[in-house]
Structure 1
Amino acid sequence: MRIISLRGATRAFVLVVITAVPLLGVIDTGVVGYARLATEDDAKVVARAAADAVRGQPLTQQTALTAYEEADVTARRLGATVAKKDFTVHRDGQVTLTMERTAPTLIFDQLPFLRDKTDISVTVTVEPSRYS
């Protein structure tokens, strides 16, 4: 009968850690890459929702606030935020906004030199949809 020694258990633990950390790093890299791609598409969806919320209305402070509120609700549903200072409704109905999101990672958030790589910010300008 073989008994597991402390030395053998330590080796097994070290082997698991040595293989898990690089694997988690690769997974985090994929998560950040996907979040960067998805954030631009989601920002266009948010901006289009804001533009559609005030389509056909004259540009006033109230319509701009209505558009921002719609953008904020839509962005929160997608796990992001819209920067109020970078939100603009143009006279022709276009909307320009900056959407911010943090990619959910396991390793990158723990390492100070990689932490800023998880913060994603995208600025888009869209026209209101012609349909609907």
Structure 2
Amino acid sequence: MGVINWINNLFKIHIKKYEAELAEHYSHPEKLQADTLQQILRENAGTAIFREHNLRPGISAAAYAERMPVRTYEETLPYIERILAGESQVLTRQRVRALAKTAATTQKTSKYLPVTREHILSCQKGSW
């Protein structure tokens, strides 16, 4: 068996692991959304932004929507500046390892987005 066939077989084995999980997500998207919200609430309880908006694990999606306003980047910038100043647990409890700079293709100025180890791993998993 050639190297390419060997790599393809490994990839197929890896994808098979996620096949049942993906099928469950596609058949019950509302449950996936509710579970994802609760995971985010658990993982980020105690952060500055969650304290400011009285967010905690177990609240409903409706309560979350009421308490957490949709923000523009400019409205989020003060939180990012706090991260730049060295403050931790502002937007996430995870350690911010870097700030990614956007390419500014649609606007004249770049934007900075916090990057955590978990974010990188999530992007890698999603690309598979």
Question: Smaller-chain TM-score range?
Answer: under 0.3
Rg: which structure is higher? 1
- Greater strand percent: which structure? 1
Using structure 2 for the length normalisation, give the TM-score. Answer: 0.25
